[in-house]
Structure 1
């Protein structure tokens, strides 16, 4: 067997760490999952414990009852440790960015959470290209970063054609200002949070909208967030979702608006 492509991660994982990302995936990819002939998803680099793969299966099966998840890890010891959690629809395998699924299967979803933070920014486009080439038509690569207990999360959604959107998600009670999410930007963006870059302009404008929406704080953090996102949209930022997503502490913006200069 060829050596898996990639570098072993720290492996840090906690139950429910990726619940915000999973919730968004079930919403955004639900229609494609329901019509897929082979509803298989990959949890790439699930870490030292298989909780995220177990939870992903449960959440996808609320949309597609026969969904399947393959947890891939570059560390054989982690694959062996996950085997007791194997069940109907959930398997574990040794692999990396080559996504080695049997019988030439192509996943509807590849989720790579907290995997690329240890890589250099210049390596990210090639990894994205390699992973999206493995997707089924209509499939989605979701790559991003969150904190240890899943309160703050930012991810990029990438289709077979390339990056589409960036989603910011947070437990609103933990937020002082939207730019607190900057520390969880994915590798493609985290070093671009500097003046002159679009993501910095976005977060600066988001903080300004948050301050303007301060009177809504008396109605709760959720109403303040909703008002802030509405102000962003009214000022021209290409927000792609609606208030039902904003209520959950999310906002999704088109990739082109935040992409690094020269990308």
Structure 2
């Protein structure tokens, strides 16, 4: 008996290059795992009304591992039908939801999918998606603005959440806490005093302000100085190579919600 896909349709908003920051991070940090995989299949879950994000994901991941295949999964059958003319070798589109109608994924990317759900639903969705990963697989779930200037995502393995990455176009950044509006659903309501994510963004803002003399060398050097400063108190998992891209990644254990 055919089962109804699990979940509800997103607004479907998408723009070319919207997810480039997330894609580049995935290719850089998860590329070795893709190369080790016997079947490097990536799922673009909830790609929206147009197939651009899946097309771009294939291109960027194939730069890291040429064998990579991408499956776009959408709960709206009309969106699947509209995307299928874009199929080619290594790129397919199928009807489905959180149950993921394929198995053993090396990667699942869910961008701007959970924002319409309640915070209390997130853990169950994460667990369901992580159960569809191959050993060594990765789930990346997060939110960005309409043109991809600000983006925050959680990376999860089969065992659960590992890290949180904040990524921004540095030339448009006033202060790091501006990224708070793009926190994923698991954290967006936790940006209040007493919660770790609030403390982290507060400390990053302070480090950004202290690093203002570096602004004469450019926003990139200022960001690197701020990241280096917060690394003394927060467990960052990356370094200058990623900081130069306008990123900073923190262990999930340090930002995990404190209450509720």
Q: Calculate the TM-score normalised by the size of structure 1.
A: 0.98
Where does 1:51-90 land on structure 2 (aligned, <5 Å)? 51-90=52-91
2:140 is aligned to: 142
1:217 is aligned to: 215
Structure 1 stretches lacking a partner, 5+ long? none
Where does 1:101-112 land on structure 2 (aligned, <5 Å)? 101=102, 105-112=103-110
Mapped to 2, the partners of 1:42 and 1:12 lie a distance apart of 18
1:44 is aligned to: 45
Instruction: Look up the SS of the partner of 1:176 in the other structure.
Output: coil
Mapped to 2, the partners of 1:110 and 1:207 lie a distance apart of 31
Figure out how many residues of one structure are paired with residues of the other and give that number: 259
1:247 is aligned to: 244
2:198 equivalent to 1:237:
no
Aligned-residue CA RMSD (Å)? 0.7
> Which of 185, 194, 197 does residue 196 from structure 1 map onto?
194
Runs of 4 or more, structure 1, over 2 Å off, are none
2:21 is aligned to: 20
Mapped to 1, the partners of 2:97 and 2:150 lie a distance apart of 26
Q: CA deviation at 1:26?
A: 0.3
Q: Calculate the TM-score normalised by the size of structure 2.
A: 0.99
2:228 equivalent to 1:227:
no
Cα deviation per residue 1:97-124 (whole Å; 9 max; x = unaligned)? 00011xxx31000000000000000000
2:206 equivalent to 1:205:
no
Mapped to 2, the partners of 1:142 and 1:53 lie a distance apart of 14
Mapped to 1, the partners of 2:6 and 2:121 lie a distance apart of 13
Mapped to 1, the partners of 2:51 and 2:257 lie a distance apart of 33
Q: CA deviation at 1:28?
A: 1.1
Instruction: Look up the SS of the partner of 2:134 in the other structure.
Output: coil
Structure 2 stretches lacking a partner, 5+ long? none
2:256 equivalent to 1:259:
yes
